[in-house]
Amino acid sequence: MNESVLKAKQDLVEEVKKDVQESQTVVLFEYRGLSVSALTSLRRDLLKANSKVCVFKNTLTKRAFEDLGHNEFASELKGPNAILFSKDISAGLKVLTKFAKRNEEVQIKSGLVEGRFIDKSKIKEIAKIPGREGLLSMFLSVLNAPVRQFALTVKAVAEK
């Protein structure tokens, strides 16, 4: 094999490894039958969520995951696969699962969340969790509730 071809393949493996290490969430999904315009639309939506989708050869992807110690993906890497890389745990997953509901061609296979392997059912559960801003607003409303109740009680006593 030509030296330049080997170097290009090694660079791709390193790129996959770098993307996996920099991402909070990595999801492997099949896109067989998806039109180019639909895949482009998915890419645009994911960019808004600080995520990206890449398509690599399965053999190179398998080598990158094995180098990182994630041998679980070996059986999943069959057919046309794409990989979602997301810096936020749930933002990219929300976009992908919503897109998969509208496009039955997209089949979520498995993924990594914070370096741990998860199957497709857990991916769908994580996608249902509110985002960071939603969780912060819920937390703040819980903190605010006792103060609000106290203020309402004092107001009610003052009105009597």
What is the per-residue pLDDT across 12-30, written as a single tens digit (0 to 9) for each?
888 888 988 888 889 999 9
Q: With cut-offs at 50, 70 and 90, classify the pLDDT of residue 128.
A: confident
Do 8 and 78 fall within a single domain? yes
Do 83 and 113 fall within a single domain? yes
Q: What is the pTM of this model?
A: 0.77
Tokens of 64: 């990158």
Average pLDDT over every residue of 141-148 = 81
Provide the residue count of the chain. Answer: 160
CA-wise closest residue to 114 among 19, 25, 17, 20: 25
Q: With cut-offs at 50, 70 and 90, classify the pLDDT of residue 1.
A: low
Do 84 and 140 fall within a single domain? no
Top-ranked range on mean pLDDT: pick from 55-59, 141-145, 151-155: 55-59
pLDDT of residue 44: 92
Alpha helices in 23-80 (DSSP H): 36-48, 58-67
- Work out how many domains the chain is built from and give that number: 2
Residue 156: give the domain boundaries: 130-160
